[in-house]
Structure 1
Amino acid sequence: MDTELLKKGPVMSRETFSRFGGLWIDRMDCDAELARRTVAGTFPEEVSRLIQSFMRDGFVVIKSAVSKDLTVAIKSELEQHWRSSPPGAMIEHWTPQGEQIFVPPALQYRDGPTKLLDFHAFSETARQAIAAPKVVAFLSAIFDAKPKAFQSLTFWRGSQQAIHKDTAYVQVDGAPMKLAASWLALEDIHAGTGELEYYVGSHRAPDFLFAGEHKWLEAAPHEHDRFLASHHEDAAKYGFKRSSFLASEGDVLIWHADLAHGGSVITESNTRQSLVTHFTPEKENPPYALKGPINRMEVGGCQFISVARQ
């Protein structure tokens, strides 16, 4: 547990929907602020419409945000990455015994409950796709800053992960709500393949407080099951509709830090190849970036950082 980070804690706010603050789109007056910025011409009209949808639903879909040339190239690079990984490449894998392990990529793990970590650190092609112009334009607008990509996860099959909120696991130092994520379909997604699912509007539900005061799970790991159950209870209480994303190759879904989402149950044998990336405004950092050497890159107006692995 990062006790120093927990001691430091986030700045509390009651001007935002979450007591932990957030972006300008999370302020109680966000609708008026969007109207003001739209009238002032701060954003193109298309971006303003996307922001309005994002504030209401907790996500937006940008159709054909990434060209098929890029998605095909990424899949080719991923195949090589799995068969002959470069030094420092890692996956997160869960064994049949329920043990979480971190090992280099190998084909024996690809079909299992596995996440390929930080592919963006090894692939210029992946960075270009993550920094697709429409994605960067949207993130820059809600961040009021250049986006910083600091964690990516690549999936071969659906994760079947329980519905959850990223703010319990993905840390931004002192600012848990200054976070967004993108989900890029690397192929057409079919029902039954573990497609992404979510509760529409759930980003506005009350904060779940670990140990009665924290946003991050590490403050009280024993409360994890209660945390997961709370999303379904909130959906029933506030009327959040459960929905899913059957994407076409190249589509990107961007979700809010507190959108309740997960991977649906797999009933078909098809793959569900996808690339997930987590972002924060350029001046913010995940805790690891403050503690050790990191790699820094920039593509298309988006910063990229990753752990400097040997």
Structure 2
Amino acid sequence: MIGRLVDGRQVVAEAPLQIHIRNAEPLRSKVAESLRRSGAPAVADGVCDSRDYDYGDLDLRPWFDRPDAMEHIDGLLGSRRISETDAERLRAFVTQGFLVLPELVEAPLLRDLNEALDDVVAKAVDGYQEGSSERIHGLHDRYPAVKALWLHPEILRMLDLIFGQPARPCQSLTYVYGSQQEHHQDTIHLTPFPAGYMCGVWTALEDVQEGAGELRVFPGSHRLDRLYMAGLGLPKVGGEWNDFGQKAVPAWTRMLESGRFRSEAYLPKAGSVLIWHENLMHGGAPRRDQSVSRRSIVGHYFAEGCVAYYDSSGLPGVMRLDPRPS
């Protein structure tokens, strides 16, 4: 490959360029073959879009989106690769679209996480205003406790079982109060190819109370169609989300109503972790009591070997290759 430095339309320098791809996972070869067959770009050069990829190739579906998903779990259990508890949780992921790891986070880490949030509030990190529903991005790069949660061995182990590949973190979002975000699918925002290879991870840093803007999930809604920007006739979002909200949210609402899906309030104890399927419909309930916090951290993870991008904005995704805990 030849690398060129261009000033306007004039090439001012060029030199041979070698690209070494650090990815030896089995999924990589399947994805690479699909990209070759479809002519999809192997390197992001401009806007990323769902139309670039062959989402119709059913052979690329992850095991949990296949008709024989329960047999896959039975095979893992029979070979003693997982415990019966793991199997129950994976079955819930297949049927409900999420699983729960109750009170997983250790007390010392939980204390450090809450101390980190105290510091965020006291210093108004990233302009955070006390009492607001705004999210704070990327605290894993500032606070060791948040990074320790981001790379928690048991969370990564469970994600590895779900993906069948090593899980790689992408981003973290931290909340002091409930988000009050409309119901949505993450697929349109944190978008993998092949479909299915992204999960959200929601950790409660305190006991969540009803009325605090609790997370609400719609069990089974992960089987609904995936919505992408092109299918909605939407341009990529550069900064203003009004058009997106006017088209995407009503579309999601119609899908939920047509399938008669009901939301459930998630009221976990501190330290509990919820892992959800990328396409699960979820959102934040209204904060009926504005004085009650809902301290929580969300991480998003992609499977190593997939293509990661943000269909809503057209930006390429980033998987962090931090050393995994041994």
Q: How high is the TM-score relative to the length of structure 1?
A: 0.78
Distance 2:196 2:127 in 1: 35
Stretch of structure 1 that moved more, 23-32 or 161-170: 23-32
Task: Report the CA distance between 1:119 and its aligned residue.
Answer: 1.1
Q: Unaligned stretches of 5+ in structure 1?
A: 86-103, 302-310
Structure 1 residue 272 corresponds to structure 2 residue 294: yes
Stretch of structure 1 that moved more, 227-236 or 276-285: 227-236
Does structure 1 conserve the Cα–Cα contact (< 8 Å) formed by 2:97 and 2:280?
A: yes
Task: Report the CA distance between 1:82 and its aligned residue.
Answer: 4.1
Helix, strand or coil at the partner of 1:193: coil
Distance 1:189 1:293 in 2: 31
Does structure 1 conserve the Cα–Cα contact (< 8 Å) formed by 2:200 and 2:278?
A: yes
The root-mean-square deviation of aligned C-alpha atoms, in Å, is 3.1
Distance 1:106 1:212, change over 3 A: closer
Distance 1:186 1:283 in 2: 31
Stretch of structure 1 that moved more, 137-146 or 178-187: 137-146
Stretch of structure 1 that moved more, 224-233 or 249-258: 224-233
Amino acid at match of 2:302: T
Give 2:141's aligned residue.
121
Give 2:325's aligned residue.
300
Distance 1:293 1:213, change over 3 A: closer
Does structure 1 conserve the Cα–Cα contact (< 8 Å) formed by 2:198 and 2:278?
A: yes
Task: Report the CA distance between 1:143 and its aligned residue.
Answer: 1.1
Give 2:207's aligned residue.
188
- The match for 2:189 among 141, 163, 169 is 169
State the Cα deviation string for residues 63-119 of structure 1 (Å, max 9, x = none). Answer: 01102221111111222244447xxxxxxxxxxxxxxxxxx5235x24223111011
- The match for 1:257 among 272, 278, 283 is 278
The structure whose Rg is larger is 2
Task: Report the CA distance between 1:263 and its aligned residue.
Answer: 0.3
Does structure 2 conserve the Cα–Cα contact (< 8 Å) formed by 1:82 and 1:105?
A: no
Give 1:90's aligned residue.
none
Distance 1:162 1:22, change over 3 A: farther
Distance 1:281 1:126, change over 3 A: same
Give 1:11's aligned residue.
54
- The match for 1:218 among 236, 253, 259 is 236
Structure 1 residue 208 corresponds to structure 2 residue 227: yes
State the Cα deviation string for residues 183-225 of structure 1 (Å, max 9, x = none). Answer: 10011110000000011100001233433389x9738974543
Amino acid at match of 2:83: P
Distance 1:275 1:15 in 2: 33
Give percent identity, aligned residues only.
24
Structure 1 residue 105 corresponds to structure 2 residue 104: no
Give 1:152's aligned residue.
172
- Residues paired across the two proteins, number: 275
Distance 1:80 1:43 in 2: 39
Task: Report the CA distance between 1:292 and its aligned residue.
Answer: 10
Distance 1:287 1:164, change over 3 A: closer
Distance 2:215 2:196 in 1: 21
Give 2:267's aligned residue.
246
Task: Report the CA distance between 1:252 and its aligned residue.
Answer: 0.6
Does structure 2 conserve the Cα–Cα contact (< 8 Å) formed by 1:210 and 1:219?
A: no
- The match for 2:64 among 25, 30, 35 is 25
Helix, strand or coil at the partner of 2:216: strand
Does structure 1 conserve the Cα–Cα contact (< 8 Å) formed by 2:302 and 2:319?
A: no
Does structure 1 conserve the Cα–Cα contact (< 8 Å) formed by 2:166 and 2:304?
A: yes
Give 1:54's aligned residue.
93
Distance 1:186 1:285, change over 3 A: farther
Distance 2:275 2:158 in 1: 9
Q: How high is the TM-score relative to the length of structure 2?
A: 0.74
Does structure 2 conserve the Cα–Cα contact (< 8 Å) formed by 1:203 and 1:257?
A: yes
Distance 1:287 1:237, change over 3 A: closer
Does structure 2 conserve the Cα–Cα contact (< 8 Å) formed by 1:82 and 1:106?
A: no
Give 2:218's aligned residue.
199
Give 2:42's aligned residue.
none
Amino acid at match of 2:135: K
Distance 1:12 1:6 in 2: 12
